[in-house]
Amino acid sequence: MTRYLIHRLLTFIPTLFGISILVFGAVRLIPGDQIMAALGTEAGMLTDKQREAMEVYYGLDQPPIIQYFRWLGNLLQGDMGISTRHGPILAAILKRLPLTIELAVLSLSVALLIGIPIGILSALKHNSFLDLAGRIFAMIGLAVPSFVLGAILIYVLSVGFGTLPNSGNYTDFIDDPLLNLRQLAFPAITLGTSFAASVMRMTRSSVLEVRRESYVQTARSKGLAANLITRRHILRNALIPVTTLIGIEFGYLLGGAFIVEHLFSLPGIGRFAVFSISQREYALIQGITLFVALTFICMNLLVDLIYVALDPRISYRDHN
């Protein structure tokens, strides 16, 4: 296991290196530059010497490859760069990270509390009315985009109840836990409902597949109770592919639910990324993207380790 972990950690290096190259190149395909983003229309009023001075300040006077390796060298030292509006980029990301983590955990809780029970019930009552209702729920959840569901919730709350989940006055959990949870409840429901639909479908298909396995049939022939068979033999094995889905989706949520955070005026990483793109904050975009990529990689590694806990038959000795 130790050698496997070391091997996986070493693969992080070329993966992040490749992502950094793609991000660095893609960001510079955006029309305009940091000078235009910082000054707006006043950038056209700069003299040649003023523009040259600002290019030196932002490092735009160097060839792109020099800019990349300079940025990469600073990154290896733990310096993601400086934002013209937010100061040190790493500190700016970490400042918004707690909100995004809290929203991701709440959304995941909503998804699991809804998706797994419905998926199990739908599979155990295969081809019944409950199964049909569960599949309809899954189709609706997958078909309706999260931002549409969020807009509907905002409309119902504002028109029907004269209130909004969050009107730009976000409160930290430490300052007021109850108010914080009220502000995050509807964004979590918005994200969790779409996620619950995917969890439900995966749980249903996994349970149906495991129920056909020979060891389940053997357990039935021995006269074991149905609840015991479901709990010990079916669910334990059926949750393995569900774990993969949960890991991927949770990595996405930690990366920032861009539209939902923006829709509900939540100052998380997703909304921060949208702002950095609109303002052409090159270093900020690169830092956020690398953070999201690292999150996905770490979540995939964590899922692999959870596999062993769920199914002892899975071993990583072959990878050593």
* Planar angle of CA 166, 261, 244, nearest 5 degrees: 130
Specify the pLDDT at position 166: 59
Q: Residue 317's pLDDT band (boundaries 50, 70, 90)?
A: low
Specify the pLDDT at position 163: 66
Specify the pLDDT at position 172: 82
Backbone dihedral angles phi then psi of residue 88, each to the nearest 5 degrees: -55, 130
Backbone dihedral angles phi then psi of residue 170, each to the nearest 5 degrees: -60, 140
226/18: higher pLDDT: 18
* Planar angle of CA 172, 81, 171, nearest 5 degrees: 5
Query: pLDDT for 183-193, tens place per residue?
Result: 888 888 888 88
Sign of CA dihedral 61, 66, 68, 70: negative
Instruction: Tell me the percentage of the chain whose pLDDT exceeds 70.
Output: 87
274/84: higher pLDDT: 274
pLDDT over 80 at 5, yes or no: no
The CA distance from 249 to 91, in Å, is: 25
Q: Quick count: other Cβ atoms within 10 Å of Cβ 190?
A: 28
Instruction: Tell me the percentage of the chain whose pLDDT exceeds 90.
Output: 2
320/83: higher pLDDT: 83
Specify the pLDDT at position 46: 75
Q: Residue 168's pLDDT band (boundaries 50, 70, 90)?
A: low
Q: Residue 286's pLDDT band (boundaries 50, 70, 90)?
A: confident
Specify the pLDDT at position 223: 75
Specify the pLDDT at position 190: 87
Query: pLDDT for 196-207, tens place per residue?
Result: 888 898 888 888
**What's the whole-number mean pLDDT along residues 239-257?**
77
Domain ranges of the chain: 2-88, 90-319
Specify the pLDDT at position 158: 74
pLDDT over 80 at 139, yes or no: yes
Q: Which CATH architecture has domain 90-319?
A: Orthogonal Bundle (1.10)
pLDDT over 60 at 169, yes or no: yes
Q: What is the pTM of this model?
A: 0.79
The CA distance from 204 to 194, in Å, is: 16
